[in-house]
Amino acid sequence: MPALLALLAGLTSALGFAPLEWWPVTLAALALWLWVVHRAPTLRAALWRSWLFGVAHFTVGNNWIQHAFDFQDRMPPALGYVAVVGLALYLAIYPMLAGGIAWKLGRRSERPDLAYVAVAAAAWIATEYLRAVVFTGYAWNPIGVIWVPTPLRGIATVTGTYALSGLTVLLSAALLLPRATIRAGVAVALALLMLVPDPAPKPVTVAATAPRVRVVQPNFPQEAVRSPGYDERLLDRQIELSGTPGPAPRLVVWPEGTVNFYLEDGYPFDWYQASPSLMRARIASVLGPRDVALVGGTALNFGRDRQLQGAGNSVFALTPDTRIIGRYDKAHLVPGGEYLPMRSILQPLGLSRLVMGDIDFAPGPGPAAITLPGYGSVGMQICYEIIFSGQVVDRAHRPAVLFNPSNDAWFGTWGPPQHLAQARLRATEEGLPILRATPTGISAVIDAAGALVATIPANRADAIEVPLPAPMPRPCSRGSATGWHCWR
């Protein structure tokens, strides 16, 4: 029976994440898990129950990963279900450790007390942080992200993501405390919170000539990649949706990897599908004299012998005169997606990376910004990179805005809203607006408080053009923009 309760708690705990956002269910599920762990007769039983909780929690929360296997033909699509469960079997180690620490160090009485509650919260902070950094890290869906649709997401400005998750566990565990007044107070506060809507962005008045951002969503599904003329049709669609210049300078942003022609000069001739200068001119044709385009594509890296050494998942900054004035290469690559780890072992077993092509992407140097004329410093974080708390901004050169091009067309119906929620949490804790452009949605402009200024729903070809949101002051007085680092 305790094992079944642990599984049930894990299954329901993931329902607080997007797209469902049933965060009260997550709080109740965490309380149930902590109660089951507290009642464990031995440390081994506490570890076992916590591991079962984690397996169920991560299987539900990561179900979208299966869909990525539907868009390739090198491995059976059914392997996606194995991948989801296999990943959950590993990720469950982290709540297992948290539960074991809570039982070993915090269990001192027959009923959960303040010591148990405090140790459980601290253990969750430590293990969630470890999950984000060990083996390149997998920071998807920290527990604290359940607060994104509520006013409590603002706490992340002070605490950062991991401490916010710890406070979430603390709040859940408080429901187990023996004093009825505490339990009742927590329950009433949560009930009142359910009545408060998602805070809307603060209205701003700007001049007609103030800088604007135009986010393009072409709505080309992943299954169309191999269709005839896909590259040309996608380019034409994005050019069409980029609009026309106006009195205000525009930052025109396109999604990750949607320019499937090489834009840089100097590659060996055989690698070109079309003239790079012609491709740049086609994109620049929609730009006014003060506009800048940020477009996602692929960069190639060649050695002195002109042999291909690797590729970069890149963003190019393009001016109206067709010059590339900056390039950012994704630094935090997805294992199994953009490169195959332990290739010499896994490739003979029939495994491959999910992104098409035989050459692994090479990581860039890390968080960086490109200075754009008229817009200042724009930080870059491609797709998955935006989920890593404390790793998205160059601390020495804090940007005014973050650009997060992504390709969520791989991830079914659960992945895109979860990705958006995590971007909103990152905006909140960094105090920076974030621009998200994706091929099929959900594209968005997020203000520095994590509120949605404008969005394009999934599966719609469209563009949004709004004034460029302003950043907030650094959230921490000691110069670190992430709360997790404020106490160092």
Q: Is residue 419 part of a domain?
A: yes
pLDDT for res 207: 80
pLDDT for res 198: 78
Q: Is residue 438 part of a domain?
A: yes
Write down which residue in 193, 221, 242 finishes a domain. 193
pTM: 0.92
Count the Cβ atoms, other than its own, within 10 Å of residue 315: 27
Contact 249, 374 (CB under 8 A): yes
Please list the rounded mean pLDDT of every run of 10 residues in the chain (488 residues): 95 98 96 97 97 98 88 74 93 98 93 93 98 94 97 94 96 86 75 77 80 96 84 96 95 95 84 84 96 95 81 94 96 69 48 55 88 94 95 92 93 95 97 97 96 96 96 62 44
pLDDT for res 339: 52
Q: Are residues 186 and 224 in the same domain?
A: no
Q: Are residues 379 and 411 in the same domain?
A: yes
Q: Is residue 200 part of a domain?
A: no
Query: What is the Cα–Cα distance from 4 to 233, expressed in whole angstroms?
Result: 51
Q: Is residue 49 part of a domain?
A: yes
Q: Are residues 90 and 187 in the same domain?
A: yes
Q: Are residues 227 and 143 in the same domain?
A: no
Write down which residue in 159, 193, 227 finishes a domain. 193
Q: Are residues 218 and 182 in the same domain?
A: no
Q: Are residues 155 and 239 in the same domain?
A: no
Write down which residue in 164, 193, 222 finishes a domain. 193
Q: Are residues 303 and 431 in the same domain?
A: yes
Structure tokens at 28: 């109740």
pLDDT for res 358: 58
pLDDT for res 108: 87
Q: Is residue 206 part of a domain?
A: no
Q: Are residues 249 and 326 in the same domain?
A: yes
User: Would strands 324-329 and 212-217 be described as parallel, antiparallel, or unpaired?
Assistant: unpaired
Q: What is the CATH number of the domain that holds 447?
A: 3.60.110.10
| 438: containing domain | 212-485
Q: How far is CA 416 from CA 313, 396, 480, 483, in A?
A: 19, 31, 29, 25
Q: Is residue 423 part of a domain?
A: yes
As for how many domains the chain has, the answer is: 2
